[in-house]
Amino acid sequence: MTYPFKFAGAPDPTLTLSPARAWGGLTACLARASPGRHTGVIAAEHRLAFYASGPVGTDCGAGGLTRRGLSTPGDFDFVPAGCLGFWEDDAAIDIISIRLAPELIDDTAEALGAPRGGVELAPRLGARDPVVSHVAHALRAELETPAHAGRLHADGLAAALAARLVQDFTKRPVAVRQTLSKPKLRRLIDYVEANLEANLSLAELAGVAGLSIPHLTALFRRTMGQSLHRYVVERRVTRARAVLLGGRASIAETALSVGFAHQSHLSRWMRRLLGVTPAQVVRG
């Protein structure tokens, strides 16, 4: 098969990295790779390279797999820990570079019902996945803004990506089991309701439920059909609407009183979930 590109073969390719940020076993940065052949190293962490620009002609390989073709925004390559990989692009490319600690994957696998250390991740080249795409774009937004996301949101991204890899990127499928018990779920929901204004973290909520973070995130999604972060945001929006309808506080005061970082943060989520702005709620 003939491809409509020619590899540059630059003798000294470069890789420019932005400052990295880390959340709960996940580290991410933005990278710009020049044309040419980039040879990786065997690393102790799992690595995911998400293409943020393109299309470009790509020749890559990892763990015995090879791929030659066009890479477009949204494609990604996944290289498990201990696996050697390489890639060569015919033009400069922007990448969201993500690394995951093996401990995060082991904890997540155990939470999903697999024996600890019994999950072997498989390399993937030129893959596409809606969950991976969502996490990558959310991480890019976090890396490009000086204002850090709330801890619950950031930790949730790491947990969601780890769960997706364990469920769909293993050499043998993992059978998911269990849901949250009714007492644990009630204890968790009551705690969230009583502390909506706080900067809640997954570690804090996992302690309330008496579970590990990966176990909590996996079982909560399986029980409630949504992430814990999404549930908390929905409860905050509902509480904010009630406060605004009661006329007891300004929009800015309401946002802070229910746990949003600022007024625009509340406005963005209220518009997304309810289809109206806080100002429209007040007027209505």
Whether residues 64 and 155 fall in one domain? yes
User: Residue 137: which CATH number?
Assistant: 2.60.120.10
Residue 192 lies in a domain: no
For the full predicted model, state whether its pTM sits above 0.85: no
CA distance 89 to 247: 58
Whether residues 131 and 241 fall in one domain? no
Residue 100 lies in a domain: yes
Whether residues 19 and 154 fall in one domain? yes
Residue 271 lies in a domain: yes
Residue 23 lies in a domain: yes
Q: How many domains does the chain have?
A: 2
Residue 259 lies in a domain: yes
pLDDT digits 0-9 by tens, 88-144 = 988 999 999 999 999 988 888 877 777 777 788 999 999 999 889 988 998 898 888
Q: Does residue 17 sit in helix, strand or coil?
A: strand
Residues written for the chain: 284
Whether residues 46 and 136 fall in one domain? yes
Output the six-digit token pair for 273: 């979930």
DSSP per position, 262-279: SHHHHHHHHHHHHSS-HH
Whether residues 157 and 23 fall in one domain? yes
Residue 98: the pLDDT is 95
Whether residues 263 and 148 fall in one domain? no
Domain that holds residue 111: 15-168
Residue 9: the pLDDT is 46
CA distance 206 to 31: 33
Whether residues 243 and 159 fall in one domain? no
Q: What is the mean pLDDT of residues 161-184?
A: 77
Strand intervals (E) in 143-210: none
34, 13 Cβ separation under 8 angstroms: yes
Going by pLDDT thresholds of 50, 70 and 90, the confidence category of residue 40 is confident
Q: DSSP class of residue 26?
A: E
User: Residue 245: which CATH number?
Assistant: 1.10.10.60
Closest CA to 101 of 15, 149, 176, 159: 159
CA distance 93 to 35: 8
Whether residues 255 and 114 fall in one domain? no
Whether residues 25 and 163 fall in one domain? yes
State yes or no: pLDDT of 4 exceeds 50: no
Residue 220 lies in a domain: no
Residue 148 lies in a domain: yes
Q: Is 5 exposed, middle or buried (0-12, 13-18, 19+ CB in 10 A)?
A: middle
Residue 13: the pLDDT is 83
Output the six-digit token pair for 217: 């995130």
